[in-house]
Structure 1
């Protein structure tokens, strides 16, 4: 195979990473290869063998390394984190532009912090399913290029089958990457990192303040998109926030079934720091840590630089609010703007919360079902529907088509993901493959996948998700 890798991150000084190969595994076996994505990256899908997917063999031109970074985890500062179970193989330049290719679960690195550096099959399947679903929903995200079983067990609360995920990202540069060098007072490294990130993601940015503004906008739009589909990241630490504006690190993530703004699934989020409605606020908090890290690179008086950075951070709402309104207007069939639209939308959401309505099913019912089956509080639907219908009457075009394009029928429902994982633990991967295939068509599912849209029964509900490390 020709050498298609061009590894710009590996050309940064060695204090940015540790170069080392993946740790070999004993019994690699392909679980799934994303053929279409491979071709977009300029890769031959046939080259993604079990040996390559697990790191036992390396594609020509790879330059494997583990990146170092720091981060705030649930608000607490950790001065050195880094890729504890991941190896960046390199960067390819295909039809989708420059992309990182990384292995997750590829063995111990200097940043493993007493961990084993491995992943078991459950988190690998979860990330494959959810990240590819997010892509199909049109939400910026890392993607799954392939997954393989290792033939080895991984000890967690019990022994599980081991697996490795091959992940693709615009980059793996995190807020925590900037924090690492800022905390060490390494201004030359900060400058190199900033220049690299600008060249990689925002070539029209002019300096640290302009770069910050670009990241703020990208994150604001991303979180608004999360909110529009009921997605809860679950662990929005600064080391899990990519400056590219992609969703990264699918640990205890979940899509809501029953809607509530305070919904939390992550088993480690005991205080609700990363609850559904808190995600915009957390994004701003994380971006403030990025701004603080960039201050040493800003010219002029430090107080003035801090004021300018604060002004940029305050602009988060200027990007988030219009994007949130655009997305939720479409979800109720609106493409034009009127002053009462926000009250109309929040009125629906408050009724959904009080009725414990299913988030996805309620919005899809607006296009032709009976939303009153979901908004069950007495009089709640009847007190909202007339205003909505009057608003639709003033809307040009086809509101139902607008809603069908904005409201997915299929999402990765927690109970379906868990069913696929449990089947996989037992050696049956058919539910996993079926779910990945179905979620590639979230707005127009095949008739045979209709049951995947059904909300869980009470006994099927999954109310806690786990990180899997």
Structure 2
């Protein structure tokens, strides 16, 4: 029996310049490794009467349901600052769109489904390791409250992805508000196709920002809305110590969701210059660079839509500059508020930014674990006698003592019950994150021994990140020196 999905496709009705038909690889064997039934219910997908073989056929792309879009999306992009005019979905297929139970339009996208017209010399496959990482990290990001694409299903295939060495290939079915990127605008703008730049902008407004349809300046406001969402997104990444790793313009979704989890990582010990991506040799996308790179990407979006902002180029540039001038102040205000909450402050004062910065500097000098430090601060607030928890993370005891004294004085300026303050802090400081060494353990077991027990072990705690229980005590701890992961890979 063919799986029925209530598709309501819209992207395929855009002009053909934006997409091309795609036929996924005819994998002869498929095995369903994971399915997100909670997300399936949210999407109103009728999984109940179907066995795993049928679901594996659907979400590998081999057995597309009636009404599936089956297309590869076109886009360009700046990759590490270098413009590539044609990229597109070289190893992914848009299965189709559905309306979820909340009336939101959502894409179902198959990553690793085989070659498309945009594959160039690539095989269109996704190694199992990066697919496992995306499944675990995207669902963890959702649980943390960060806007993100989500993982619907993971299918192991009988194909081999040849990289540095042969790897088993998998398909991850991911769900997004859309897959329209800054690079999608760049693709048509680079061709001097102003009419299709306008069509795409109108589509994005209708799909993501419908209130702007009534604006007297819809395209100026569109740029402002996208910038606002990016400021929120980068704040969310950084308050949890997340490093995307490959913030090319083709990896920035105009919906404001985290997309493309290739070489991403959560830092262990705090370093402002932390990077893990194997391909980011010069640290372009390091932790502290993420806000400025988001602004750089937004500037490329502004260039692509300049003709929509005003017929006079000078006036259009001035409009774009005026919008983008607000990005860094917006981000910095959000960052101050987010970090104030992490150290237990209900309101922000002028000197709080310096208080937070001094903590981060001390953490860097003492190689303090980012996540564990803020979680232990929750205990120190609830019980002043629990100071030994944070103190033990510092190599130089005096650095903690000096900062703690400033912090305690600042807390006294706000009248709040210690128990309530600790409760609020535990709601923004997770105990469990997708630590690199655990993700690597899951990948190694799966790729080397067809063992998915570590993957399954992680799935539960990662979607309950603020719970600190005896069962997840080992997941909370930083890696031992021999376990540290210093590089991550996207699998392209």
Q: Which category of TM-score, normalised to the shorter sequence, fits these structures?
A: over 0.9
Q: Is 2:391 aligned against 1:372?
A: yes
* Counterpart residue number, 1:255: 266
SS in 1 for 2:486: coil
Q: Is 2:456 aligned against 1:437?
A: no
Please list the CA deviations of residues 208-236 of structure 1 after superposition, one character each: whole Å capped at 9, or x if unmatched. 11100000000011001101000000000
SS in 1 for 2:339: helix
* Counterpart residue number, 1:89: 95
* Counterpart residue number, 2:427: 405
Runs of 4+ in 1 over 4 A off after TM superposition: none
Work out the CA distance in 2 between the residues paired with 1:4 and 1:458: 50
Q: Is 2:33 aligned against 1:10?
A: no
Structure 2 counterparts to residues 346-385 of structure 1, below 5 A: 346-368=357-379, 369=386, 370-385=389-404
Judge conservation of contact 1:126–1:250 (CA < 8 Å) in 2: yes
Please list the CA deviations of residues 419-452 of structure 1 after superposition, one character each: whole Å capped at 9, or x if unmatched. 0000011100010011111101000144211211
Please list the CA deviations of residues 34-56 of structure 1 after superposition, one character each: whole Å capped at 9, or x if unmatched. 00000000002344611111111
* Counterpart residue number, 2:209: 202
Please list the CA deviations of residues 153-185 of structure 1 after superposition, one character each: whole Å capped at 9, or x if unmatched. 221111111110001000000000000100000
Judge conservation of contact 2:4–2:46 (CA < 8 Å) in 1: no
* Counterpart residue number, 2:382: none
Structure 2 counterparts to residues 287-298 of structure 1, below 5 A: 287-298=298-309
Structure 2 counterparts to residues 89-128 of structure 1, below 5 A: 89-96=95-102, 97-128=104-135
Judge conservation of contact 2:23–2:116 (CA < 8 Å) in 1: no
Work out the CA distance in 1 between the residues paired with 2:334 and 2:189: 32
Q: Is 2:73 aligned against 1:67?
A: yes
Unaligned runs of 5+ in 2: 380-385
Structure 2 counterparts to residues 48-67 of structure 1, below 5 A: 49-67=55-73
Work out the CA distance in 2 between the residues paired with 1:232 and 1:428: 28
Aligned match for 1:156, one of 144, 160, 163:
163
- Comparing 77-86 with 51-60, greater Cα deviation is found at 51-60
* Counterpart residue number, 2:383: none
Structure 2 counterparts to residues 22-421 of structure 1, below 5 A: 22-46=24-48, 47=50, 49-96=55-102, 97-205=104-212, 206=215, 207-368=218-379, 369=386, 370-397=389-416, 398-421=420-443
1:394 is displaced (CA, Å) by 2.3
- Comparing 373-382 with 126-135, greater Cα deviation is found at 373-382
Work out the CA distance in 1 between the residues paired with 2:101 and 2:394: 45
Work out the CA distance in 1 between the residues paired with 2:196 and 2:59: 32
Judge conservation of contact 1:224–1:324 (CA < 8 Å) in 2: yes
Work out the CA distance in 2 between the residues paired with 1:280 and 1:118: 31
Judge conservation of contact 2:307–2:316 (CA < 8 Å) in 1: no
The CA RMSD over aligned residues, in Å, is 1.2
TM-score, L = length of structure 2: 0.93
Work out the CA distance in 2 between the residues paired with 1:4 and 1:123: 29
Work out the CA distance in 1 between the residues paired with 2:465 and 2:394: 23
Judge conservation of contact 1:438–1:445 (CA < 8 Å) in 2: no
- Comparing 242-251 with 204-213, greater Cα deviation is found at 204-213
Work out the CA distance in 2 between the residues paired with 1:344 and 1:446: 31
1:378 is displaced (CA, Å) by 4.2
1:395 is displaced (CA, Å) by 2.1
Equivalent pairs, count: 469
Work out the CA distance in 1 between the residues paired with 2:28 and 2:456: 24
TM-score, L = length of structure 1: 0.98
Work out the CA distance in 2 between the residues paired with 1:90 and 1:192: 20
Judge conservation of contact 2:80–2:284 (CA < 8 Å) in 1: yes
Unaligned runs of 5+ in 1: none
1:325 is displaced (CA, Å) by 1.2
Judge conservation of contact 1:295–1:302 (CA < 8 Å) in 2: yes
Please list the CA deviations of residues 361-405 of structure 1 after superposition, one character each: whole Å capped at 9, or x if unmatched. 111110125211112224101111111112112223322112111
